[in-house]
């Protein structure tokens, strides 16, 4: 008799591997299918996030900023150095080592928790069967009580700029440059485009970012977005909005790009490298058998309810393959939720409080509603802001760009949104998320004691400023 599992998970990214580990912890017999292998044919766990996304990009962002800081800011601290140079292959090797350590760590966690790892490509046949196909074409059927789809996403490709071997690259290719491109083009001014553009601009590339939309960081609070645009342009990113790329051509070591601006005028640019970073799409190609009963929408996303259950009661889908932001932490929380649902311990993800972070320097982060979203609903609200230029800790670190913004309901004082651009923005927004999870008011934050000196005090002061009680800036009159 074939082995039967309680749950089979397809994909070992942040959604899939977290779901597998939690399911096993809850006593469920669990298998996780992963098709990705390295050059030696060894399975690669961790999905996009660990291998070619969150982790490697942050490694390069941190390395490049240390180089940038040494060249530009060490003198402010009285530190004198000789000529500062960058060894790009060594930087890439460090990034790869970090990735290797983390992906191996997932394998260790699978063993420690008793998760069965199955190498191959998974196909959902029904609510109780998954076919696994390996490289030589052979296959096996896994019988299971529940199926969880967690196959993640891949970069979107666009016809005007098809990916080439080494000149026009997607976000994955941009993580493995072996030298600093003199002229770098980036299509897309979203999270990925800004982060990768920042990496190579710090190392010396002349970077032009082409964004088809007429607004910058439309998902962010626009007061924060305007501040971000100003700071990033000052750092050397040439961000051009309403720039629709129409054609590209690779000629030897150069890439020629044509784009049309808002007025319809055509422009021509020449780059050494071009990064296409216009977004990601769900990886659901050939994943679901037509007669399985699992439905997808017109964009390829798997249709699920608020608990990530498909129309087939024993099939779930989590992470980037379903609605909502494509964020590792959102997928991980969904993984835990589904594992616990299957084990009979129902929980719910709070989709109103999914934090977003852009790891430029300064970082840009937010949670909850933007001021623009609140205006649409006609809610009455109040706002408090505090600039890092007034923060003693930020001054000491020579890191004073940006601000903290707290938005609260005018009647109840409940915090509606926290938005930050500045040092440790991701950590400050997480403090805001915790407060909002417990329905805190701006007064609750204002009455909380913050240690001194910390950049967190900027969040405290912004909360105080909501009602005009900030101590370390002059308060504006409230409307």
Mean pLDDT of 104-122: 98
Q: What is the CATH number of domain 362-465?
A: 3.30.390.30
Domain 4-155+281-351: CATH class, spelled out: alpha beta
Portions of the chain given CATH number 3.30.390.30: 362-465
State residue 341's pLDDT score: 98
Q: How far apart are CA 91 and CA 71, in angstroms?
A: 16
State residue 41's pLDDT score: 86
Mean pLDDT of 197-221: 98
pLDDT, tens digit, for every residue of 66-83?
999 999 999 999 999 999
pLDDT at 185 over 70: yes
Mean pLDDT of 265-293: 97
State residue 40's pLDDT score: 86
- DSSP 8-state symbol, 422: E
pLDDT at 322 over 90: yes
- For residue 267, indicate whether it is catalytic: no
pLDDT, tens digit, for every residue of 354-386?
999 999 999 999 999 999 999 999 899 999 999
Mean pLDDT of 20-27: 98
The active-site residue out of 329, 361, 419, 452 is: 452
Q: How far apart are CA 399 and CA 455, in angstroms?
A: 10
State residue 302's pLDDT score: 98
With residue 436 as reference, give the H or E element that holds it.
Answer: helix 425-437
pLDDT at 115 over 60: yes
pLDDT at 187 over 90: yes
Mean pLDDT of 177-193: 98
Enumerate the β-bridge partners of residue 275: 169, 186
Portions of the chain given CATH number 3.50.50.60: 4-155+281-351, 168-278
State residue 479's pLDDT score: 56
Q: Are strands 183-187 and 4-5 parallel, antiparallel or unpaired?
A: unpaired
Mean pLDDT, all residues of the chain: 97
Q: How far apart are CA 246 and CA 268, in angstroms?
A: 10
Q: How far apart are CA 467 and CA 479, in angstroms?
A: 10
- The confidence band for 478, taking pLDDT boundaries of 50, 70 and 90, is low
DSSP track, 290-335: TTS---B-TTSPBP--TTSB-SSTTEEE-GGGSSS---HHHHHHHH
State residue 346's pLDDT score: 87
pLDDT at 32 over 60: yes
pLDDT at 436 over 90: yes
Q: How far apart are CA 122 and CA 142, in angstroms?
A: 10
Q: How far apart are CA 214 and CA 237, in angstroms?
A: 17
- Kindly indicate whether the domain formed by 168-278 is annotated with CATH number 3.40.710.10: no
State residue 316's pLDDT score: 98
Q: What residues contact residue 427 under an 8 Å CB cut-off, 6+ apart? A: 456
- The confidence band for 135, taking pLDDT boundaries of 50, 70 and 90, is confident
CB-CB neighbours of 7 under 10 Å: 26
pLDDT at 1 over 60: no
CB-CB neighbours of 286 under 10 Å: 8
Tokens at residue 431, please? Answer: 């403090």
CB contact burial 35-56 (16+ within 10 A = b; e otherwise): bbeeeeeebbbbbbbbbbbbbb
CB 224 within 8 A of CB 420: yes
């Amino acid at each position: 008799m074939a082995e039967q599992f309680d749950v089979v998970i397809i994909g070992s990214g942040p959604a899939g591997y977290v779901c597998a580990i939690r399911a096993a912890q809850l006593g469920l017999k669990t298998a996780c299918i992963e098709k990705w292998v390295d050059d030696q044919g060894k399975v690669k766990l961790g999905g996009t996030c660990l291998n070619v996304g969150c982790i490697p990009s942050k490694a390069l962002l941190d390395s490049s900023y240390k180089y940038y800081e040494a060249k530009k800011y060490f003198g402010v601290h009285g530190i004198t150095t000789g000529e500062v140079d960058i060894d790009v292959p060594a930087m890439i090797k460090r990034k790869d080592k970090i990735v290797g350590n983390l992906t191996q760590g997932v394998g260790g966690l699978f063993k420690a928790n008793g998760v069965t790892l199955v190498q191959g490509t998974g196909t959902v046949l029904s609510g109780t069967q998954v076919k696994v196909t390996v490289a030589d074409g052979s296959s096996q059927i896994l019988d299971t009580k529940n199926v969880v789809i967690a196959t993640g996403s891949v970069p979107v490709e666009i016809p005007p700029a098809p990916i080439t071997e080494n000149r026009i690259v997607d976000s994955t290719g941009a993580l493995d440059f072996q030298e600093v491109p003199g002229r770098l083009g980036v299509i897309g001014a979203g999270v990925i485009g800004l982060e990768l553009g920042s990496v190579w601009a710090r190392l010396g590339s002349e970077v032009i970012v082409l964004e088809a939309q007429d607004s910058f960081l439309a998902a962010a609070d626009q007061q924060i977005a305007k501040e971000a645009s100003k700071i990033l342009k000052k750092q050397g990113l040439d961000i051009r909005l309403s720039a629709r790329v129409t054609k590209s051509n690779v000629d030897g070591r150069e890439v020629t790009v044509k784009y049309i601006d808002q007025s319809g005028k055509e422009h021509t640019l020449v780059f050494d490298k071009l990064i296409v970073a216009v977004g990601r799409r769900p990886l659901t190609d050939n994943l679901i058998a037509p007669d399985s009963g699992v439905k997808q929408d017109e964009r390829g996303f798997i249709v699920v309810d608020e608990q990530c259950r498909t129309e087939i009661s024993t099939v779930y889908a989590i992470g980037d393959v379903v609605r909502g932001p494509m964020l590792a932490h959102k997928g991980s929380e969904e993984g835990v939720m589904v594992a616990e649902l299957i084990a009979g311990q129902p929980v719910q993800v709070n989709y109103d409080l999914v934090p977003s972070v852009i790891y430029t320097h300064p970082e840009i982060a937010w949670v909850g509603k933007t001021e623009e979203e609140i205006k649409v609903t006609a809610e009455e609200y109040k706002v408090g802001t505090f600039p890092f230029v007034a923060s003693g800790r930020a001054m000491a670190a020579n890191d004073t760009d940006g601000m903290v913004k707290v938005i609260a309901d005018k009647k109840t004082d409940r915090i509606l949104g926290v938005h930050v651009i500045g040092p440790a923005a991701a950590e400050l927004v997480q403090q805001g998320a915790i407060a909002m999870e417990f329905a805190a008011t701006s007064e609750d934050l204002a009455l909380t004691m913050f240690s001194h000196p910390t950049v967190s005090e900027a969040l405290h002061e912004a909360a105080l400023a909501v009602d005009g009680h900030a101590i370390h800036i002059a308060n504006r009159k409230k409307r």
